Structure 1
Amino acid sequence: MPFFRKIICSLLLVLCATSGHAADPARIDALIGDAIGRNLIAGGVVLVGSRDRILFEKAYGRTSPLPDAPPMAVDTIFDIASLTKVAATTPSILKLAEEGRISLIDPVVKWFPEMAGHGKDSILVLHLLTHTSGLDDVQLYGESPIRSAIEGAATQKLKGEVGSRFRYADLNFILLAELVRRATGAPLDVYTLASFYRPLGMTDTCFNPKREGRFCATLIEGRILMGEVQDPLCRQLGGVAGHAGLFSTARDLGRLCRMMLGGGTLDGRRVLAGRTVDQMTAPYFSRGGGVVRGLGWDISSPFSSPRGNGFSRISFGHTGYSGTSIWIDPASDTFVILLTARLDYKNTHEFSKLRGDLSTVASQLFGVPPELGEMARFNDE
């Protein structure tokens, strides 16, 4: 359909040329500057990109609330918190499924026989990935925190019928990381380094980084942490967990996003099959349209503020408690990464608004309009 492709390309050129928002990244500066001025964050890094390149990259403010804190840099390393779920655990599980080493419809008790006989036989790996297992978070204790997590999963009463309700719980991904270890013999940090971070050139991405380095601070109970994971459950698990614990930079995460937009390939290196990426980001759970989840990835839910008002209905992403977020839109071939030195953990509404406003502006500045992006995708099929 070369004729229709020419029409679409012409429309895109006209639209980009006539957009009143074009080439005005000062709007991003204003958003982040306002957040710093209101003490929502001490600083941050914004990166916007497409499948082929970085479109915008800038550091703002400082790495901590201390007056003598170093300025933020584009290569500052962040504790990315729950982005661990989609930057480490989800791709690991999907790669193992792709290779036939596990199945997404495996009963969880196949991999955790300790949970058998406790009414958890209907929970599948798929339910852990979509937070529809009915499991709730538990306290960890003792010399083997992972054993206490499994015991807590086995003995608790399920919060509703399995597969019927979205209930976000870190325990789901704590179990998934242990599943990776049981299926491969390698802990999550070792497996992800070999399978993803080295092949993708994500040189600053790891668990338990060396403490000296160019870190952004996180806050916990009045303490400033630099290079130490903020999440208390992850600390109990030794710094390597499926729900939190990963450290990374905006540029490294940009390479992950480019791989996702590239259907599992980046710079000629394939780490996932295209069908696996499609499977990961397809809507697997939808409760009347109110909550739509992919495998690990969020599509539309109470956590979807980084979607903003400009990205398409097939876009997906995730957030992290430390002040991080990713949102990826295949229709417009755009992704937005926000990593911050978060100061205000109570004003969640304003922080969600910052994430959404950033994506809205980024989609206006750099994104192909979603309607035309979807037309182009249809034309290619």
Structure 2
Amino acid sequence: MELGSTMFTFLQEQIDKERLPGAVISVIHRNRLLFRGAIGYRQLWPDRQPMSINTVFDLASLTKVVCTLPLILQLWQRKRLSLHMPVAEVLPPFGANGKENVTIFQLLTHSAGLPASVPFYKEGLNYHETIARVCHQAPTYTPGTRVVYSDLSFIALGAIIEQVTGKSLQRVANEWIYTPLGMQETQFCPRFPATRYAATEWDHWLGRPKCGEVHDENAFAMGGVSGHAGLFSTVSDIEKFAGEMQTATPLLFDPDILRYARQHFSAGMEEPRGLGWILKGAQTNSSCGRFFSPFSYGHLGFTGTSIWFDPVAELAVIFLTNRVHLGRDNHAIRRIRPALHDLIYQCLFF
């Protein structure tokens, strides 16, 4: 099967059935770009605007692994923190309500006792007030005993980065990741022309779809910058990040640190977790499909973005969509993602 036409036939069917507005996809094998393409629309209303390769996407929770995780790993590599140190050693208020022994490692593995999310934005809290509330949050389960995917954990990690470096999250990310890797279009609070963005959900306050404003409500209330969401980027920039994750000779990291981050640290818990990454492991319903190896790792973003790596097949798939443009209750992406990854694998290896 021919890779490009097979993927586009499948994706066009999803667009025709109004399951997706559009998508940009990149397939990388053995650090060689096999395919990069755009299909469908970056915006459906008030008028249809075609998707393009240079469309800027709200990455949503890909922020966690394209910004926050690599910065924490660099701080560890530079010996400016230890993964197993209590968070309260860096952020003393975090020790409130029985969290004095919760570690950075537990934040990274979503096992810190924190709930999935809290709608702080409904209280009108700003950036610093939100971080204060996260620090004061009581555990909802015994830390280290469960995996509960938590935005709060990565809000705290973003605050740790700023506390240790004395710089804003955006500035540290620019200096330590995006400038060295040439990721010039990866930004918080971006200022691209409106015609560059993949529109997300209709906003009743704005009277239009969000377009260049972060979709996540807590990140929006925090001024668009947070460790859990808020980052915008393009497929070409994410390809550069993927190359850094896959190469045997990374520019910014000790290869052993990157390998450590994708080890399985949550045996016997709800889902297989590395540091930041979700792992395929023995899952039979993974979003990377049936054929990616058990050693595969990746992450998803609520807006419809995802990145998956299979180190055995030396394969990376970047799949960027704005599925929430059709409403956040549009869950067709849950079927589309694994089916697409299966098609890619079949085209390449069967």
TM-score normalised by structure 1 residue count: 0.84
Which residue does the alignment assign to 1:346? 329
Alpha-carbon distance in structure 1 between the residues aligned to 2:108 and 2:76: 13
Shift of 1:116: 2.9
Out of 28-37 and 50-59, give the one that drifted further.
50-59
Out of 24-33 and 219-228, give the one that drifted further.
219-228
Determine which of 54, 60, 73 is the counterpart of 2:52: 73
* Root mean square deviation, CA, Å: 2.0
Written as runs of structure 1 = structure 2, the 5 A alignment for 1:1-381 is: 21=1, 23-66=2-45, 68-136=47-115, 137-140=117-120, 141=123, 144-156=126-138, 158-213=139-194, 214-221=196-203, 223-263=208-248, 265=250, 270-287=251-268, 291-300=271-280, 305-342=286-323, 343-348=326-331, 350-366=332-348
**Unaligned residue ranges in structure 1 (runs of 5+):** 1-20, 370-381
Whether contact under 8 Å (2:134, 2:152) holds in the other structure is no
Q: What amino acid is aligned across from residue 53 of structure 1 in structure 2?
A: R
Per-residue displacement from partner, 1:168-200 (whole Å, max 9, x unpaired)? 110100000010000001111111111111111
Number of aligned residue pairs: 340
Shift of 1:203: 1.5
Runs of 4+ in 1 over 6 A off after TM superposition: 301-304
Shift of 1:149: 3.2
Shift of 1:294: 0.6
Whether contact under 8 Å (2:31, 2:314) holds in the other structure is no
Q: What amino acid is aligned across from residue 274 of structure 1 in structure 2?
A: P
SS of residue in 1 equivalent to 2:34: strand
Give the structure with higher Rg (CA).
Answer: 1
Alpha-carbon distance in structure 1 between the residues aligned to 2:183 and 2:42: 21
Q: Does the C-alpha gap of structure 1 residues 253 and 155 become closer, same or farther in structure 2, counting only changes over 3 Å? A: closer
**Unaligned residue ranges in structure 2 (runs of 5+):** none
Alpha-carbon distance in structure 2 between the residues aligned to 1:280 and 1:303: 22
Q: Does the C-alpha gap of structure 1 residues 317 and 353 become closer, same or farther in structure 2, counting only changes over 3 Å? A: same
TM-score normalised by structure 2 residue count: 0.91
Alpha-carbon distance in structure 2 between the residues aligned to 1:312 and 1:180: 33
Alpha-carbon distance in structure 1 between the residues aligned to 2:60 and 2:220: 12
Q: What amino acid is aligned across from residue 280 of structure 2 in structure 1?
A: S
Alpha-carbon distance in structure 2 between the residues aligned to 1:162 and 1:186: 29
Q: Does the C-alpha gap of structure 1 residues 117 and 175 become closer, same or farther in structure 2, counting only changes over 3 Å? A: closer
SS of residue in 2 equivalent to 1:62: strand
Q: Does the C-alpha gap of structure 1 residues 278 and 24 become closer, same or farther in structure 2, counting only changes over 3 Å? A: closer
SS of residue in 2 equivalent to 1:56: strand
Alpha-carbon distance in structure 2 between the residues aligned to 1:148 and 1:209: 22
Question: Identity, % of aligned pairs?
Answer: 34
